[in-house]
């Protein structure tokens, strides 16, 4: 390929955007900058076959170069650690790599970037599902399902001192508390626990886990555990658009007033704000994002009931809420260079639709609208009008610049009435991979 190619077409009316007009070349120059390209693409598959470079993720992480891309085929993998390295991990095609263990990310330098796309993380061991600390660059998690480990308040995601973490179209669930044979019942895991970090949620569901069920093996030891908080923000900033944050329910008490009471566990708080260690009181901005408390569990017979949690528990800091309509963007990923895939936009019939394309490593987020912004304006493409049935399908082709093997873009949908204000909707990450992989 001679340059970065972006194409959009109707299924029955092809229209490809070529690179001849000088104005378009200028607009797309920032998308094709060499410093934003991955150095190499490596294939990871737990079953060896021709073309496979590594059988497990950790071996790949340890041996590839900074800035490389790991293409993960469908399979089951152990947890892994990435320390002081920029990498992109993206699921191949329709497969869902299942990481059965925790992911630990640490010590990312300023200007570095980490990306996880299309992974399922089910931490079957103790510990948080995804743990990130001291990330001075950016972490982008797209279309992932992450669950914390078993034990006492293990979070789905735990962040400490992270400059910019973005979740797109993902689900996060706190770790399972399990049943307790101890005098103290176990609290359900928090969905996300963020300390002194900047966190952005777009079309993402975050849920705290339920508290543990009590036990009646010892008199008066049958209380249910506290429901896990949906999202705990200690210092830093939280920005949400079209997402949801829900706490876990309290655990059920077991027993009776005769045999030894098991009181009900209290429900967890949806969103809890408290001071950080280094950043003071936090700020949360919620755009079309409900926060929901967990309900109390059920008590043992004639035992004490629990108390429902709070939607928002503000120990320190402020919450600002906004309500903005938006459209839903769905894409197939990853794309192969020169091939077409489909973008689906759901929205109001009659609305005009545009797609803004920018390089994901350059993307920041406006704290009010949660729309992406980049140092240079992203390139806008008009792709049509939403029909009466509310769904617009378009074929899209994004190519690679000369010599690169993988590039990663953010696609942002913009929609609104003809001649009216265009409203930013949801975003998605699109990885373009060389056809050899």
What pLDDT, on a 0 to 100 scale, did the predictor assign at position 9? 39
Query: Does residue 301 or residue 165 have the better pLDDT?
Result: 165
Which of 322, 352, 369 terminates a domain? The answer is 322
Q: Assess whether 237 and 371 both reside in one domain.
A: no
- Domain assignment of residue 222, yes or no: yes
Mean pLDDT of 222-242: 90
Q: What does DSSP say about strands 171-173 and 205-207: parallel, antiparallel, or unpaired?
A: parallel
Which of 299, 322, 345 terminates a domain? The answer is 322
pLDDT of 16 over the 80 cut: no
Q: Assess whether 369 and 314 both reside in one domain.
A: no
Calculate ∠ Cα 207-208-211, nearest 5°. 145
Mean pLDDT of 208-236: 80
Q: Assess whether 318 and 334 both reside in one domain.
A: no
What pLDDT, on a 0 to 100 scale, did the predictor assign at position 7? 45
Q: Is the pTM of this model over 0.85?
A: no
Band of residue 419 on the pLDDT scale cut at 50, 70, 90: confident
Euclidean distance between CA atoms 68 and 434, whole angstroms:
13
Q: Assess whether 157 and 180 both reside in one domain.
A: yes
Range of the domain at 309: 123-322
User: Total domain count for the chain?
Assistant: 2
Q: Assess whether 218 and 352 both reside in one domain.
A: no
Q: With b meaning 16 or more CB within 10 Å and e meaning fewer, what string describes 367-404? A: eebbbbbbeeebbebebbebeeeeebebbbbbbbbeeb
CATH code, domain carrying 341: 2.20.130.20
Q: Assess whether 317 and 212 both reside in one domain.
A: yes
pLDDT of 392 over the 60 cut: yes
Query: How much is the mean pLDDT over the chain?
Result: 79
Q: Assess whether 348 and 314 both reside in one domain.
A: no
Q: Assess whether 332 and 311 both reside in one domain.
A: no
Mean pLDDT of 334-352: 79
Euclidean distance between CA atoms 190 and 206, whole angstroms:
9
Q: What is the pLDDT of residues 51-90, one digit of tens each?
A: 999 999 999 999 999 999 999 999 999 999 999 999 999 9
- Domain assignment of residue 238, yes or no: yes
Euclidean distance between CA atoms 169 and 330, whole angstroms:
9
Least confident of 13-17, 57-61, 120-124, 210-214: 13-17
Band of residue 313 on the pLDDT scale cut at 50, 70, 90: very high
- Domain assignment of residue 219, yes or no: yes
Q: What is the pLDDT of residues 103-151, one digit of tens each?
A: 999 999 998 989 999 999 987 778 999 999 999 998 989 899 999 998 7
Q: Assess whether 267 and 385 both reside in one domain.
A: no
Which of 263, 293, 322 terminates a domain? The answer is 322
Least confident of 57-71, 178-192, 294-308: 178-192
Band of residue 238 on the pLDDT scale cut at 50, 70, 90: very high
Query: Does residue 402 or residue 98 have the better pLDDT?
Result: 98
Mean pLDDT of 226-230: 94
- Domain assignment of residue 58, yes or no: no
Q: Assess whether 263 and 292 both reside in one domain.
A: yes
**CB atoms < 10 A from the CB of 96, how many?**
15
């Amino acid at each position: 390929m001679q340059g970065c190619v972006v194409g959009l077409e109707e299924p029955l009316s092809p229209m490809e955007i070529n690179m001849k007009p000088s104005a378009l070349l200028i607009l797309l120059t920032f998308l094709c900058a060499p410093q934003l390209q991955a150095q190499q693409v490596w294939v990871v598959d737990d079953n060896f076959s021709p073309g496979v470079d590594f059988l497990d993720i950790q071996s790949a992480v340890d041996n590839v170069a900074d800035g490389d891309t790991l293409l993960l085929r469908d399979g089951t993998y152990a947890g892994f650690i990435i320390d002081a390295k920029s990498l992109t991990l993206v699921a191949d095609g329709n497969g869902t790599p299942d990481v059965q263990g925790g992911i630990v990310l640490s010590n990312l330098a300023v200007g570095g970037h980490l990306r996880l796309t299309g992974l399922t993380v089910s931490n079957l061991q103790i510990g948080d599902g995804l743990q990130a600390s001291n990330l001075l660059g950016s972490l982008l998690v797209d279309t992932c399902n992450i669950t914390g480990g078993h034990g006492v308040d293990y979070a789905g995601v735990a962040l400490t001192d992270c400059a910019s973490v973005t979740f797109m179209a993902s689900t996060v669930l706190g770790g399972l508390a399990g049943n307790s044979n101890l005098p103290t019942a176990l609290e359900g895991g928090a969905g996300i626990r963020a300390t002194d970090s900047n966190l952005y949620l777009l079309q993402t569901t975050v849920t705290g886990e339920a508290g543990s069920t009590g036990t009646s093996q010892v008199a008066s030891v049958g209380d249910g555990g506290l429901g896990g908080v949906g999202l705990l923000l200690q210092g830093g900033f939280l920005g949400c658009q079209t997402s949801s944050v829900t706490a876990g329910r309290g655990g059920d008490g077991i027993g009776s007033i005769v045999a030894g009471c098991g009181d009900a566990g209290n429900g967890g708080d949806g969103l809890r704000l408290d001071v950080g260690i280094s950043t003071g009181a936090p700020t949360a901005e919620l755009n079309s994002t409900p926060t929901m408390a967990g309900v109390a569990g059920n008590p043992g017979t004639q035992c004490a009931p629990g108390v429902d949690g709070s939607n928002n528990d503000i120990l320190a800091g402020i919450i600002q809420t906004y309500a903005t309509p938006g459209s839903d963007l769905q894409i197939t990923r990853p794309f192969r260079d020169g091939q077409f895939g489909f973008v689906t936009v759901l929205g109001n019939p009659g609305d005009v639709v545009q797609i803004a394309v920018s390089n994901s490593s350059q993307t920041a987020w406006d704290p009010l609208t949660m729309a992406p912004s980049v140092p240079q304006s992203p390139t806008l493409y008009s792709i049509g009008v939403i029909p009466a049935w509310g769904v617009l399908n378009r074929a899209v082709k994004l190519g690679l610049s000369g010599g690169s093997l993988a590039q990663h873009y953010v696609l942002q949908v913009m929609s609104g009435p003809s001649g009216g204000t265009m409203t930013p909707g949801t975003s998605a990450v699109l990885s373009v991979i060389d056809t050899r992989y």
